[in-house]
Amino acid sequence: MKPSFDLSGRTAIVTGANTGIGQAIAVALAAAGAAVLGVGRSGMSETETMIGSAGGRFASFSADLSTIDPVDDIVEAAVSAFGSVDILVNNAGIIRRADAIDFTEADWDAVMDVNLKTAFFLSQAAAKRMIPNARGKIINIASMLSFQGGIRIPSYTASKSGLAGLTRLLACEWAAKGINVNAIAPGYFVTNNTTALREDPKRSGDILGRIPAGRWGNPEELGGAAVFLASDASAYVHGTILPVDGGWLAR
Ligand code: NAP
């Protein structure tokens, strides 16, 4: 049987679809046939143009994901725009950098709220729609910090390690209900999230020096993994954290 990567007739919610990794994943899912609802606090006109000019379907919903208040409205917006919720990509995320010894409660809470708490409660809201259809795909955007400690990013490491655990827990609870919950762990990609690292010659050199591929990733290079985990081709894949990292973890 030929594996199917076709997402025609499916609706995807992608958080943080205005830029970076979320934008690239939204574009890839749309190219595979999905109708995409981009969710975030910034305008999505660039993503809308990219998808629309390729003949895809896109709508946006404005929401601040630092609280869980909008989660039900996000799911309803997808249903009212496109008729269903079949795929959720929890991509929106932030990072705060400071030595652990100086790290503030505000920087702890801000990161945990967006990266972990909202990802969980939005997954819960989406799953309430998916379970009656016995069909759904949830893809969390994890990190190398789901496997490693890192430095100067305590709340980010805690949130991404937590997201890996949550991916496994939700897979265990929802696999038998027809929902595949998995994560993608990007290595080091050229986005706003990594501007500070790339502008620090020492850190940038250290990072580049251990990437077997010898370069930073481009967000478009996550599209294939996202389409795979969103499609029937991954029907029996549950609770995995798929690294797309230029070989970083292999070193
Ligand atoms: P980015 O360009 O900074 O994108 C982050 C996205 O999250 C933006 O769309 C941002 O919206 C959105 N967001 C943040 N806080 C939000 C809030 N309160 N409400 C709504 N949206 C919010 O960085 P990125 O690299 O594409 O990051 C995407 C995901 O990949 C994150 O979860 C990040 O941790 C993860 N990741 C990135 C890398 C990498 O190398 N770049 C590696 C591993 C994992 P605004 O534009 O409005 O701020």
How far apart are the C-alpha atoms of 134 and 113, rounded to whole Å?
A: 29
Domain presence at residue 5: no
Q: pLDDT higher for 86 or 2? A: 86
Q: How far is the CA of 193 from the centre of ligand 1 (A)?
A: 6
How far apart are the C-alpha atoms of 35 and 12, rounded to whole Å?
A: 6
Domain presence at residue 101: yes
Q: Is the pLDDT of residue 240 over 90?
A: yes
Tell me which residue has tokens 């991404």.
Answer: 160
- Structure confidence at residue 137 as a pLDDT band (50, 70, 90): very high
CATH number of the domain bearing residue 194: 3.40.50.720
- Structure confidence at residue 1 as a pLDDT band (50, 70, 90): confident
CA 245 to each of CA 149, 195, 211: distance values in angstroms, whole numbers, following the listed order: 16, 17, 8
Average pLDDT for 30-46: 98
Average pLDDT for 190-198: 92
Per-residue pLDDT tens digits for 53-72:
999 999 999 999 999 999 99
Count of the separate structural domains present in the chain: 1
Q: How far is the CA of 163 from the centre of ligand 1 (A)?
A: 15
Domain presence at residue 4: no
Q: Is the pLDDT of residue 2 over 90?
A: no
Say which of 156, 174, 188, 228 is annotated catalytic: 156
Q: How far is the CA of 26 from the centre of ligand 1 (A)?
A: 13
Structural domain of 124: 11-250
Task: Check if the beta carbon of residue 38 is closer than 8 Å to that of residue 60.
Answer: yes
Pocket of ligand 1 (CB under 6 A): 16, 18-22, 40-42, 64-66, 91-94, 114, 141, 143, 186, 188-189, 191-194
Task: Check if the beta carbon of residue 141 is closer than 8 Å to that of residue 186.
Answer: yes
Beta strands in 74-227 (DSSP E): 87-90, 136-141, 179-186
Please give the model's pTM, rounded to 2 decimal places: 0.98
pLDDT confidence of residue 85:
98
> Which tokens go with 37?
């609802």
Average pLDDT for 91-101: 97
Residue nearest to atom 10 of ligand 1 (CA): 16
Domain presence at residue 2: no
Task: Check if the beta carbon of residue 52 is closer than 8 Å to that of residue 58.
Answer: yes
How far apart are the C-alpha atoms of 101 and 22, rounded to whole Å?
A: 32
188 labelled catalytic: no
Average pLDDT for 222-247: 98
Q: What share of the chain is helix, strand, coil (3-state, %, to 5)?
A: 50, 15, 35
pLDDT confidence of residue 87:
99
Domain presence at residue 95: yes
